């Protein structure tokens, strides 16, 4: 009796699709800077943060930490063959300008820069006035 041994991982590996253009979403908060690079369909290819780059505490909220996070992400997407990106920036943090400069210095062609920071059109009711 011949028994066939079938492994659990007999699935075929997904082939990585090749893209030359991508979208980079930079969220710059007061505490951290997050970078998410997606393909044109919106599926995440690479991501990185200032915290993942080795910064802790207040140093995460610096422009240098944002630059380091973007440089690591840019290196990974260049390996995937991406040469041009659209940048969407959200948030008021100190890493906003540093992220754009880092993408530019990494040698990627920037096709568009958009600020997608959510701004309330009046928003919820404000809390009562503070009396001192």
Alpha carbon separation from 129 to 57, 122, 125, 126, 132 (Å, rounded): 32, 17, 12, 9, 10
Averaged pLDDT score across all residues of the chain: 89
Q: Answer whether residue 8 shows pLDDT above 60.
A: yes
Q: Answer whether residue 6 shows pLDDT above 90.
A: no
CATH number of 21-115: 3.30.420.80
pLDDT tens profile 61-84: 999 999 999 999 999 999 999 999
Quote the pLDDT of residue 20.
85
């Amino acid at each position: 009796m011949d028994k066939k041994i079938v492994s659990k991982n007999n699935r075929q590996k997904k082939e990585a699709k090749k893209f030359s253009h991508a979208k980079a979403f930079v969220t710059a908060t007061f505490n951290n800077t997050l970078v998410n690079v997606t393909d044109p369909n919106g599926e995440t290819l690479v991501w990185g943060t200032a915290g993942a780059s080795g910064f802790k505490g207040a140093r995460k909220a610096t422009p240098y930490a944002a630059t380091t996070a973007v440089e690591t992400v840019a290196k990974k997407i260049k390996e995937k063959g991406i040469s041009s990106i659209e940048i969407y920036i959200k948030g008021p943090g100190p890493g906003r300008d540093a992220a754009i400069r880092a993408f530019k210095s990494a040698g990627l062609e920037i096709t568009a820069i958009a600020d997608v920071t959510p701004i309330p059109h009046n928003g919820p009711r404000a809390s009562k006035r503070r009396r001192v």
